Amino acid sequence: MRGRGREEDESESRVPLLESPRTIEENGGGLRKKLWVETKKLWQIVAPAMFTRITTYSTLVITQAFAGHLGDLELAAISIVYNVVVGFNFGLFLGMASALETLCGQAFGAKKYHMLGVYMQRSWIVLFVCCMLLLPTYLFTTPVLKLLGQPNDIAELSGVVSVWVIPLHFAFCLSFPLQRFLQCQLKSHVPAFGAGVGLVVHFLVCWLFVDGLKLGAVGTMATVSISWWVNILILLAYSVCGGCPLTWTGFSSEAFTGLWEFVKLSASSGVMLCLENWYYRILIIMTGNLQNARIAVDSLSICMTINGWENMIPLAFFAATGVRVANELGAGNGKGARLATIVSVTQSLIIGLSFWVIIMLFHNQIALIFSSSEAVLMAVNKLSILLAFTILLNSVQPVLSGVAVGSGWQSYVAYINLGCYYCIGIPLGFLMGWVFNFGVMGIWAGMIFGGTAVQTIILSFITMRCDWEKEAQRASAHVNKWSNTIK
């Protein structure tokens, strides 16, 4: 009987991911109950994670809104610094910290709680070293931007503003591991609270520095670092002062052991997400080489800001899916991981369709919060259809990346991202933008339909063909391997 039950479980785990509801109900029964239970578990993470990401990203929106009313040059400079300089490093740290979603998520599912605190400390060490190595990107912003073909006035002001982002740069190495550490043990409400307080602080300080003290673009950028560090202090105080008694047992010398294995997994995670995050940063740089670059950069930056704001929702699903899949695989439940994937992809897609409709209906008004320039408003209006399709594609792609993080597939997805984004998307964008003279619309269209769409199709195929029982067995072995590095 035990052997037969084992065979039935294995055969069921190999059922294709997107099977019909009737088939699922026949295999396990109680489809509605299963879906409802999984939805509650998912939204226990998604809701606070969504609030955290939206409020955190809103600091960018508030910053650009203040900068946009200073002038087109100030908006372009701050947009370049945020979307290119900070964006490149943000993507790297975010990606490297996502290794904790695999490790902490699977360890928490396997009930090896003590491992989470050591993992976070290892991540702090690795990311701090990266902070030091990447510091020159802020010190040499102006010559690098000039080398990349940016206009001199934008490059000069960007270099001045970039120096004031260095405190934010070091905030990343603490913030991202803390968020993953808390999310993986289902304490997402703590980052949500910290982000909310940070947003209020940011608005007040931004008003004081820009409208009150008239500090201009430099003052606008300095406010971001202040709000981030307020958020970090809240998360750190909660984590190490008794809020996580099972998973935080104090600073440990074990954090300095097994670092090379941790670096390799962090590097795979970093490359996977960096290739995605940098993709649209390159779009900004390519646009800066077009004629009338200031208007082109302003309009595209506004679209990227709106896209990034909405993208906090699928990124919340990315985080929640990674945690849910990792928890289920760590617990040896392949069927639960598959169900979590189905529920997350479906619900994120429904939300993406809703925003697609909103963008299409209000394409004339979406840029008013950022600029009063008629030229910029008209340029954004023309780009709105591409913005709508980008939002639609991004409602699925990050969720599938969350499945990859929860399952530990980062290195494979990194190769997929490299091929789709940089071997197909960027060359196609260059061809349509310059060779066929479609300008910024051609660059963007080539990159989303040649890169993002192809990558989403490939990830969908891989996820549908996944053998979840084997993934559960591999995750259990993975947790045991990593636990051997912690005495």
List the chain pLDDT tens, one digit each, 487 residues: 334 444 444 444 444 444 444 444 444 457 888 889 999 989 988 899 889 888 877 787 787 777 776 777 777 788 778 777 787 787 788 778 888 888 888 888 888 888 899 999 999 999 999 999 989 988 898 898 888 777 888 888 888 888 888 998 899 999 999 999 998 888 989 999 999 999 999 889 888 887 778 777 788 888 888 999 999 999 999 999 989 999 998 888 888 887 887 888 788 777 777 777 677 667 766 776 666 666 777 777 788 778 877 888 888 898 899 889 988 888 888 889 999 999 999 999 999 999 999 888 887 777 777 776 777 788 888 888 888 888 999 899 889 988 988 888 888 888 888 888 888 988 998 888 878 878 778 888 888 888 889 989 999 999 999 899 888 888 877 777 666 655 5
- Residue 422: the pLDDT is 86
- Residue 24: the pLDDT is 43
CB atoms within 10 A of CB 232: 20
Half-sphere exposure of 485 (CA within 13 A, CB side): 20
- Residue 482: the pLDDT is 62
| Residue 206: inside a domain | yes
Quote the radius of gyration of the chain (alpha carbons, Å).
22
| Residue 468: inside a domain | yes
Q: Residue 297 belongs to what domain range?
A: 11-483
| Residue 349: inside a domain | yes
- pLDDT tens per residue, range 378-389: 888 888 888 888
| Residue 141: inside a domain | yes
- Residue 368: the pLDDT is 76
Burial (Cβ within 10 Å: 0-12, 13-18, ≥19) of residue 409: buried
Domain count, the chain: 1
Measured CA to CA, the distance from residue 99 to residue 184 in angstroms comes to 11
| Residue 401: inside a domain | yes
H and E: helices and strands count for the chain: 23, 0
Q: Please list the alpha-helical segments (H only) found in 207-292.
A: 216-238, 259-287
Burial (Cβ within 10 Å: 0-12, 13-18, ≥19) of residue 481: exposed
- Residue 341: the pLDDT is 93
| Residue 3: inside a domain | no
| Residue 6: inside a domain | no
What is the DSSP code string of 385-414? HHHHHHHHHHTTHHHHHHHHHHHT-HHHHH
Q: Which two tokens stand for residue 313?
A: 């929702």
| Residue 147: inside a domain | yes
Measured CA to CA, the distance from residue 433 to residue 391 in angstroms comes to 21
Name, in order, each residue with C-beta under 8 angstroms of 144's C-beta and a sequence gap of 6 or more.
137
Q: What is residue 148's DSSP assignment? A: T
Residue pair 90/278 in contact by the 8 Å Cβ criterion: no
What is the DSSP code string of 325-376? HHHHHHTT-HHHHHHHHHHHHHHHHHHHHHHHHHHHHSTTTTTTTT---HHH
Residue pair 249/217 in contact by the 8 Å Cβ criterion: no
> ∠ CA 96-116-51 to the nearest 5 degrees?
65
Residue pair 274/98 in contact by the 8 Å Cβ criterion: no
pTM equals 0.76
Handedness of CA 462, 466, 472, 478 (dihedral sign): negative
Q: Which two tokens stand for residue 254?
A: 């074990």
